[in-house]
Amino acid sequence: MGSQVAGTIDMAIKVLLNEGNELRIRLIGENHTALQLFRAQLNDNKDVEYSNYFTGHPGLDEPELYLRVKKGKNAIKILKSISTDLVSEFSSIKLS
């Protein structure tokens, strides 16, 4: 994952497509674990029609996340909301 600074994780993201109800982003340096978390949470959201990730060639391509939301909904807002939810879930983990 990205570098850790002051308890947060920086994730490099490149927007490849942001048109209408579709969003496609490239997550630099991420793997199946992070992408699966996003995909699962997004597909559970009532405003999401479809979400999936694509890894491409392991040695050549950075993974991409694709999101299509219902008409009138904002894909970036939904992705940010899911990100906030994931942060909340992980911040409540107690480690001994």
Instruction: Take residue 11 and report the two structure tokens written for it.
Output: 């994730």
The pair of structure tokens assigned to 79 is 């992705």
Q: What is the pLDDT of residues 5-16, one digit of tens each?
A: 445 567 789 999
**What pTM value is reported for the model?**
0.79
pLDDT at 82 over 90: yes
pLDDT tens per residue across span 39-72: 999 999 999 999 999 987 777 888 999 999 999 9
DSSP 10-66: --EEEEEEEETTEEEEEEET--HHHHHHHHHHHHTSTTEEEEEEE---TTT---EEE
What is the architecture of the domain spanning 4-89? 2-Layer Sandwich (3.30)
Residue pair 13/30 in contact by the 8 Å Cβ criterion: no
Helix (H) or strand (E) holding 8: strand 8-9
User: What is the predicted pLDDT for the residue at 74?
Assistant: 96
Domain residue extents for the chain:
4-89
Q: Averaged over 76-90, what is the pLDDT?
A: 91
The tokens describing 64, both together, are: 């991409």
Q: What are phi and psi of 85, to 5 degrees?
A: -60, -45
